[in-house]
Amino acid sequence: SADILQRLTTLTLNVKHLSWLPRLRDLVASSLPPPRPTVTSSQVPPLFREPYILSGYRPIQQDWGCYFLSLFQRHNESLNVWTHLLAAPVLLLRWWANAGALGYTLDAASLPLSLFMVSALTYLILSVTAHLLQSHSERAHYFFFFLDYVGVAVYQYGCSLGHYFYTSEPSWRE
């Protein structure tokens, strides 16, 4: 199990792996309305303002498709969205690349790692969703950040289960 986690932490990502992103942007951009340009903090309600971030806010009340398309637009949530969005496939690819080599099976010894993976992916997906869509309205802001917190809680629970099963005495688990 420690060997699996060690291999998962070693990441080899090349710029060539990301070359498909511009083509994806062009494909999506042709089918959705373009998002409006970003605005300053004085042009959004106080709920959406962040300290020391003076510009780059997406206007509220746009079509939902505009918020999805803002994935390819630079705005105040871009870094949050992209770091979590890229982490999910990297995590999956690292797990997939090492699963066969390490003899990973769906038995009791591997189950905690599976729970960790599911909890990590849940956290990442809910976080991407929250940071991408929260600018739609006040209600959307609260709803999606509630989901973001649920994702964090699921991730913490998955981590604690993995830690418990891999470090506790076997008699405690039985």
Instruction: For residue 169, count CB atoms less than 10 angstroms from its CB and return exposed for 0-12, middle for 13-18, buried for 19 or more.
Output: exposed
* Cβ atoms of 148 and 101 closer than 8 Å: no
- Is the Cα dihedral 97, 101, 104, 105 positive or negative? positive
Q: Please state, in angstroms and rounded to a whole number, the distance separating the CA atoms of residues 165 and 156.
A: 14
Residue 57 is classified by DSSP as E
The answer to whether the annotation marks 84 as part of a ligand binding site is: no
Residue 35 φ then ψ, to 5°: -70, 150
In DSSP notation, 117-134 reads: HHHHHHHHHHHHHHHHHG
Question: What residues form the annotated binding site?
Answer: 131
Question: What residues form the annotated binding site for Zn(2+)?
Answer: 131
